[in-house]
Structures are given as C-alpha cells and as structure tokens.
A and B are shown apart, each in its own frame.
Chain A
Amino acid sequence: MTDDTQTTEHATQAPAHAEYHPSAREYVRVGLILVALTCIEVYLSYSGLAGAKLIALLLTATVIKFLMVVGYFMHLKFDNGRFSRMFALGAIGALTLYAAVLLMFGVWGK
C-alpha cells in the first residue's frame, strides 16, 4: 500500500524534460565525419603501418565512430542520462568481462 502511494507520488512528480533534436544538416555533418574516419581507417590498413601503432590508431578511430553514432544518431547525448547509464552498463560490462577473458588467455601477447 505504501509502495503504491510512493509510486503514484513519484509518477505525478515526474518532470517534463526537453529534448534537443539535431537538424538534418547536423546529422549529415556527423555522417560525413563518420565516412571520413572510415576512409582514414582503410587508408591506415593499406599504409604499411604495423604493430601496436596501427592497432592503437584503428581502435581510436573506432571508439570515436562508436561514440558519435551512440551520441548523435542514437540520441544519447541529448537524452535522459538514465538511458546512457542503462546502455553503459551493458557496453562497459561486456568490455570489462571480455577484456578480462582475453587477458586471461594471453591474447594481447600474440
């Protein structure tokens, strides 16, 4: 009974929140940056660069692309923070768990 009352109170107090939606032009700009980053990645793979330097550069470009799609196209940058935390829970959880597995099996040493 108490829980019901609390839920109702919470629901009525839920604030309206304003969301910013980028314009089509901004989305096209983000799309062009993503294409440019992909071109850089492909160039790097043909550039003759090797080893840790190549991997670091490729992973950096990948992380930037990932964050741009999640932030702008999936709207997390402008949306309620709870959605970001929900997704981060899965993404960071998966990254931590599988990085530990790869470390355990010595994949980085290859």
Chain B
Amino acid sequence: MADITGVTVHEEHTSTGLSSTKLAMWLFLASECMLFGGLITAYMLYRGASLKGPYPEDVFDIGYTSVSSFVLLASSLTMVLAHNAALEKDYPRMRLWLTGTAMLGLTFVGGQVFEFTSFYREGLSLTTNMFGTTFYVLTGFHGVHVTVGVLMLMILVVMSWRSSLSDDPAFPVEMVGLYWHFVDIVWIVIFTLVYLIPTPQK
C-alpha cells in the first residue's frame, strides 16, 4: 500500500469511505479527553486547598520528572518509527522500534512507581490531603494507561513474531500508536499543569 515516496492510497469499503476501526479509535480518544479533562479539572480545583502538608513544592522534583517526560516523548518518536517501518514492510525493524517503545514505556512507569514511593515516604498518601488525593488519582490513571499501552505493544511484538498479524500489520501498529501518542499528549498537559505551574500561595 505504501510506495517509496511515502504516499499511501487507502480505499475503505464502508458507508463513510473511512476505516470504521480508526473512526472508533478517534471517538474513543475523544471520550478519553473528557475523562482526563475531568481529572485535571479536579486537580486544578483543589490546588492550594490542602489544609496540611506535604504540599507540591515539598515533594516535587522537577528535574526527575523532566527526565520522565523526555522518556515518554522519546517513546512517541520510536512509535512513529515503528509505524514507518511497518509501512515499508520492514518487520524486523518494526519489532525493534515497538520493543524500544515498550521499554521506554516501562521506564516511565518504573519512574512513576519510584516517584509515588518516595512521595509516600515523605508522608503523602492518597488520603493525606486534597493534593495527595487529586495528584495520585490523576497521575495514577495516566500510569495505568501507559501500562495498558505497554501490554498492547508487547502483544503486537509477539503477534508479529508468530506472523499472526493481519495482511497489513501497519494498521494495528497505527491503532496502538494513536493510543500511545494520546497517552503522551495527556502527559504533556499534566507535566505543565501539575508540575511546572507553581501552586498558588494561601
């Protein structure tokens, strides 16, 4: 379907002329915007509303979280490179990039587990204050999404090894890629709103 110039011609035999699976994926991602929008709004509503510490400035390590952000950005790049390799029917390279993406995703999740553990040791639990509740729920939900993405990537790699992917492996790679990039854009927003914008002083 793809030629060397990078132009792919698709013709879908549906009433819309578009892939229903892809349309459904975009609809799902649109609904995920509402989910994360709600969680981010809850965090924003209760910013600076905690009556006792630890407060964000007591526990956040911007340098550490920045590295996590770079890891997730790098994973988005490896994901598109996997899709590119799939379009060129270079399946060994596709598997390599998919595995790399999964490893970067695992690194991000590992970093988040470490961050949560250190925050807990500093006295911030889910029920300590409003900051703890909204922070853990928001970033925890995001972490679960990354974990699900890693599982999907690993399943793709295994299916590709077993040659049990469809005739056009670029399509499932694209679908998983859309989910993965969405998880990345959610983190882009969380990183700025939660970590970088200072909490208002009471």
Contact = CB atoms under 8 A, between A and B. Distances in A.
A75 B80 CA distance: 9
Contacts of A110: 47-48, 200
B192 A59 contact: yes
Q: Is the interface of A mostly helix, strand, loop or mixed?
A: helix
B62 A27 contact: no
B84 A91 contact: no
- Bin the interface of chain A by size: 35 or more
Interface string B2-23: 1000111111111111100011
A15 B17 contact: yes
Contacts of B7: 18-21
B123 interface: no
Nearest to A7: B15
A42 B62 contact: yes
Given A42-B62, A102-B41, A14 B16 contact: yes
Q: Which of A15, A61, A70, A73 has the most CB of B within 10 A?
A: A73
Interface in B22-38: 22-23, 26-27, 29-34, 36-38
B30 A89 contact: yes
B76 A58 contact: no
B151 interface: no
Given A14-B13, A62-B192, A66-B188, A19 B30 contact: no
A105 B40 CA distance: 14
A19 B6 CA distance: 8
B70 A45 contact: no
B6 A69 contact: no
Contact of B23 (A34, A35, A62, A83): A83
8 contacts: A23-B6, A42-B63, A66-B188, A69-B188, A74-B177, A94-B33, A102-B41, A110-B47
